[in-house]
Amino acid sequence: MDIETSVVGTVTVVRLKAPRLDAAQSIRFKENLRGLAETGADHILLDMGEVTFMDSSGLGAVVNVMKLVGSRQRMELAALTPAVAKVFQLTRMDRVFTIHATVADALNAGLKAAG
Protein backbone atom coordinates (compact mmCIF):
# COMPACT_ATOMS: atom_id res chain seq x y z
CA MET A 1 0.00 0.00 0.00
CA ASP A 2 1.38 3.39 -0.96
CA ILE A 3 1.28 6.19 1.55
CA GLU A 4 2.14 9.87 1.24
CA THR A 5 3.34 11.67 4.33
CA SER A 6 3.61 15.37 5.03
CA VAL A 7 4.50 17.14 8.22
CA VAL A 8 2.47 20.13 9.40
CA GLY A 9 3.86 21.46 12.66
CA THR A 10 3.82 18.57 15.09
CA VAL A 11 1.40 16.54 12.96
CA THR A 12 2.49 13.88 10.49
CA VAL A 13 -0.31 13.55 7.97
CA VAL A 14 -0.37 10.09 6.41
CA ARG A 15 -2.52 9.84 3.31
CA LEU A 16 -3.39 6.28 2.33
CA LYS A 17 -3.19 5.87 -1.43
CA ALA A 18 -5.08 2.59 -1.76
CA PRO A 19 -8.84 2.47 -2.29
CA ARG A 20 -9.31 -0.74 -0.29
CA LEU A 21 -8.13 -1.40 3.24
CA ASP A 22 -8.97 -5.09 3.40
CA ALA A 23 -7.45 -8.49 4.13
CA ALA A 24 -5.23 -8.28 1.04
CA GLN A 25 -3.85 -4.88 2.10
CA SER A 26 -3.79 -5.04 5.87
CA ILE A 27 -0.33 -6.55 6.29
CA ARG A 28 1.28 -3.98 3.99
CA PHE A 29 -0.60 -1.21 5.78
CA LYS A 30 0.69 -2.34 9.16
CA GLU A 31 4.25 -2.60 7.85
CA ASN A 32 4.14 0.90 6.41
CA LEU A 33 2.69 2.47 9.52
CA ARG A 34 4.93 0.56 11.91
CA GLY A 35 7.97 2.31 10.47
CA LEU A 36 6.31 5.64 11.00
CA ALA A 37 5.32 4.91 14.56
CA GLU A 38 8.87 3.91 15.33
CA THR A 39 10.32 7.20 14.09
CA GLY A 40 8.49 8.73 17.04
CA ALA A 41 6.18 11.09 15.16
CA ASP A 42 4.30 12.85 17.96
CA HIS A 43 0.94 13.19 16.37
CA ILE A 44 -0.11 11.03 13.43
CA LEU A 45 -3.15 11.90 11.35
CA LEU A 46 -4.40 9.14 9.09
CA ASP A 47 -6.03 10.74 6.04
CA MET A 48 -8.44 8.10 4.74
CA GLY A 49 -10.00 10.23 2.03
CA GLU A 50 -9.03 7.82 -0.75
CA VAL A 51 -10.15 4.66 1.05
CA THR A 52 -13.59 3.68 -0.22
CA PHE A 53 -13.78 0.23 1.35
CA MET A 54 -12.60 -1.16 4.67
CA ASP A 55 -13.51 -4.51 6.17
CA SER A 56 -12.82 -5.93 9.62
CA SER A 57 -9.28 -6.92 8.59
CA GLY A 58 -8.60 -3.33 7.64
CA LEU A 59 -10.15 -2.08 10.87
CA GLY A 60 -8.02 -4.55 12.82
CA ALA A 61 -4.94 -3.20 11.09
CA VAL A 62 -5.84 0.37 12.07
CA VAL A 63 -6.36 -0.77 15.68
CA ASN A 64 -3.04 -2.60 15.58
CA VAL A 65 -1.24 0.55 14.51
CA MET A 66 -3.11 2.58 17.12
CA LYS A 67 -1.89 0.21 19.81
CA LEU A 68 1.63 0.39 18.43
CA VAL A 69 1.59 4.18 18.54
CA GLY A 70 0.44 3.78 22.12
CA SER A 71 -0.32 6.45 24.61
CA ARG A 72 2.94 8.35 24.24
CA GLN A 73 2.02 9.48 20.74
CA ARG A 74 -1.39 10.31 19.34
CA MET A 75 -3.06 8.93 16.25
CA GLU A 76 -6.28 10.33 14.87
CA LEU A 77 -8.30 9.75 11.72
CA ALA A 78 -9.74 12.10 9.13
CA ALA A 79 -11.85 12.14 5.97
CA LEU A 80 -13.59 8.81 6.37
CA THR A 81 -15.71 7.96 3.35
CA PRO A 82 -19.28 6.81 4.13
CA ALA A 83 -18.66 3.07 3.76
CA VAL A 84 -15.61 3.26 6.02
CA ALA A 85 -17.38 5.45 8.59
CA LYS A 86 -20.18 2.89 8.69
CA VAL A 87 -17.80 0.11 9.70
CA PHE A 88 -16.42 2.26 12.53
CA GLN A 89 -19.98 3.00 13.67
CA LEU A 90 -21.26 -0.58 13.46
CA THR A 91 -18.32 -1.87 15.51
CA ARG A 92 -18.50 1.10 17.91
CA MET A 93 -14.86 1.79 17.17
CA ASP A 94 -15.86 5.36 16.35
CA ARG A 95 -16.03 5.82 20.14
CA VAL A 96 -12.43 4.78 20.52
CA PHE A 97 -10.79 6.85 17.79
CA THR A 98 -10.84 10.60 17.39
CA ILE A 99 -12.31 11.07 13.92
CA HIS A 100 -12.28 14.39 12.06
CA ALA A 101 -14.43 15.24 9.07
CA THR A 102 -11.50 16.70 7.16
CA VAL A 103 -7.75 16.96 7.43
CA ALA A 104 -8.14 20.73 7.79
CA ASP A 105 -10.42 20.27 10.80
CA ALA A 106 -7.92 17.93 12.38
CA LEU A 107 -5.01 20.29 11.83
CA ASN A 108 -6.99 23.23 13.21
CA ALA A 109 -7.86 21.22 16.29
CA GLY A 110 -4.23 20.16 16.69
CA LEU A 111 -2.89 23.67 16.27
CA LYS A 112 -5.36 25.01 18.84
CA ALA A 113 -4.30 22.31 21.29
CA ALA A 114 -0.63 23.14 20.76
CA GLY A 115 -1.10 26.92 20.93
Q: Residues in the site for another protein, rule: CB under 8 A? A: 20, 22-24, 53, 55-57, 59-61, 63-64, 66-67, 70-71, 82-83, 86-87, 90-93, 95-96
| CB neighbour list of residue 41: distance below 8 Å, 6 or more residues apart | 7, 12, 73
Q: Is the dihedral of CA 10, 16, 61, 51 positive or negative?
A: positive
Q: Please state the closest distance from residue 9 (CB atom) to another protein, in A.
A: 24
Q: Is the dihedral of CA 113, 72, 44, 93 positive or negative?
A: negative
Q: Please state the closest distance from residue 6 (CB atom) to another protein, in A.
A: 26
Q: Please state the closest distance from residue 49 (CB atom) to another protein, in A.
A: 17
